[in-house]
Amino acid sequence: MDESLRQFEDIPGVVWVPPPEEFITVDRDACTGCGDCVRVCLASVFRLREGKAEVARLERCMECAACFFVCEPGAVDFQWPKFGTGYRSEWG
Ligand code: SF4
Ligand code: SF4
């Protein structure tokens, strides 16, 4: 495993709740493969495969929406997940 990836155990006080449904998708036709979503995501949710971005680990998403705003071609579709959040912390 990539040593640069954050592990759940490295973030004490945070519990990730499995997403109730898919809430981030990538339009592969619109994606230019620039990698901005990969770089901006602190949770390492995205990866590049065959020159396109894809959602690899949605369960780690912290719902910051940075991937949505950083994607200039508008290839990332982000919807706030229904029925709760993807993670919760002890500090609110
Ligand atoms: S930021 Fe958008 S265009 Fe760039 S790799 Fe990610 S999805 Fe593709
Ligand atoms: S919303 Fe934030 S944490 Fe979730 S995939 Fe996008 S950049 Fe990563």
- Measured distance CA(7)–CA(22) in Å, rounded: 21
With 80 as the cut, is the pLDDT of residue 67 above it? yes
How does residue 1 score in pLDDT terms, banded at 50, 70 and 90? very low
Of 53, 57, 59, 56, the closest CA to residue 81 belongs to: 59
Domains and CATH numbers, the chain: 21-81 (3.30.70.20)
44-62 pLDDT per residue, tens: 999 999 999 999 988 788 8
Ligand that comes closest to the CA of residue 85: 2
Asked whether the whole model's pTM tops 0.85, one would answer no
Best probe residue, ligand 2, of 6, 24, 59, 67 (max atoms within 8 Å of C-beta): 67
CB-ligand 2 contact for 67 (6 Å cutoff): yes
Choose between 64 and 46: higher pLDDT: 46
For residue 23, which of 71, 75, 69, 63 has the smallest C-alpha distance?
A: 63
| 13-50: pLDDT as tens digits | 766 666 667 889 999 999 999 999 999 998 899 999 99
Q: How many CB atoms lie within 10 A of CB 37?
A: 24
